[in-house]
Amino acid sequence: MTTAYVALEGDHVIEGRGRAPGTARGELVFTTAYTGYEESLTDPSYEEQVLTFSYPLIGNYGVREERFEDDHVHPRAVLAKELTDDVAAWLADEAVPAVDRLDTREIVTEIRDGGAMKCGIAVGDDATEDDALEQLERCKPMSDHTEIGTQVSVDDPSVRGADNDRETVALIDCGAKDSIVDSLVARDAQVHVLPYDATVDTVTDVDPDVLFVSNGPGDPANYEQAVALVREFVDDIPVAGICLGQQIVARALGGTTEKMDFGHRGVNQPVLDVDSGQVVMTTQNHGYTVADPGDHLEVTQINVNDDTPEGLDGIDHDVITRQYHPEANPGPEDTLEFFDDVLAMAGDRSQRAVPADD
């Protein structure tokens, strides 16, 4: 059996079975999702994190590329009670260290009680506890990854749905899941995927009907250019955002954000719509949240478990954001109408922009 060690803050070292070799370090988090491991593992929001699956068996329906949310695995390492050979081989091919035969209930409880924490991983025939502890010592807090956007964003602009003839979306890619773009394209929108640090001129050249800020990893305070873009365009065109995008929009309009103890990661997060009283189940993956929306946004949806903001609407601007993932993948599809609402808001703007006939 290949040796594997997981070093947690406080120099607590756990031994497990190595399933994919290598060393890694990152913020240790967990997801409660029991399906959708392919989507979770390819979600860019897990960049610089070590992902623990609380569900005991990961890989029971194989690995299929059509379920991927990006072209590669993003967590720095993967922990589980049991990984199938298919998933272990996939992670090995991706050079992502993996460990199983762990008491994941204990790990999840430790994260829940102590918060997301730094960790180090060492897997291999010659791996030692000291190797894992060395990785732990070199691990940075998430807020120190100031250039994390460069690791997950596109390098150059591209267009999806080029032949579509509905609204034009300028999507600021801070680590967007493919299914977000797919959800917009499926509604006949033309989506211009732009780098996370796109300039004002780049957005202006697109002449969009809506500015859409995507999900992504890390601290929203480190996405200063995306914040500046929202401030620049919010008076002229509608703005939408998902997950990190909600946090960026809030910061742009005078709100504040903060790090959560262990975040929301899973496919069963209950969200209450304040006006209707309806509760929907949602997919989520974030470690930061909006602390105060400021004076220009109102909270329209909240998390049932902890009252954190899940939806924001503009008070004096055309703005709509969601902290959860309406596109799901994995998870329930209770909130897909969000994309219809975004395009309806954009359509209202584009119609207003057409001068009336003399």
Q: Which entry of 38, 48, 69, 327 is annotated as an active-site residue?
A: 327
Question: Would you call 6 helix, strand, or coil by DSSP?
Answer: strand
Indicate the pairing of strand 319-322 with strand 239-242: parallel
Q: Which of 88, 106, 105 is nearest to 97 (CA)?
A: 88
Q: Is 28 assigned to a binding site?
A: no
Q: Is 329 assigned to a binding site?
A: no
Active site residue 243: yes
- Helix ranges, the chain (H): 37-41, 85-93, 104-114, 129-138, 149-152, 178-185, 200-206, 224-233, 244-252, 337-352
Question: Would you call 163 helix, strand, or coil by DSSP?
Answer: coil
Active site residue 145: no
What's phi and psi for 2, nearest 5 deg?
A: -70, 135
Q: Is 278 assigned to a binding site?
A: no
Beta-carbon count within 10 A of 222 CB: 19
Hey, what are 292's tokens? Answer: 């105060």
Cα-based distances in Å from 194 to 27, 129, 171, 198: 27, 43, 6, 6
Q: Which of 211, 225, 206, 152 is nearest to 342 (CA)?
A: 211
Q: Which entry of 47, 243, 310, 317 is annotated as an active-site residue?
A: 243
DSSP per residue over 243-307, as a string? THHHHHHHHHTT-EEEEEEEEEEEEEEEEEETTT--EEEEEEEEEEEEEE--SSEEEEEEETTT-
Q: Is 268 assigned to a binding site?
A: no
Q: Is 45 assigned to a binding site?
A: yes
End-to-end CA, the chain: 80
Q: Is 288 assigned to a binding site?
A: yes
Q: Is 216 assigned to a binding site?
A: yes
Geometric angle at alpha carbon 48, from 47 and 54, rounded to 5°: 80
Query: What is the rounded CA–CA span in Å between residue 241 and residue 328?
Result: 15
Cα R_g (the chain), whole angstroms: 21
Q: Is 218 assigned to a binding site?
A: yes
Beta partners for residue 265, in sequence order:
285
Residues in Cβ contact with 28 at an 8 Å cutoff, skipping those fewer than 6 apart:
8, 49, 50, 52, 107, 111, 116, 117, 118, 119
Name the binding residues for L-glutamine: 45, 216, 218, 244, 247, 285, 287-288
Name the binding residues: 45, 216, 218, 244, 247, 285, 287-288
Catalytic residues: 243, 325, 327
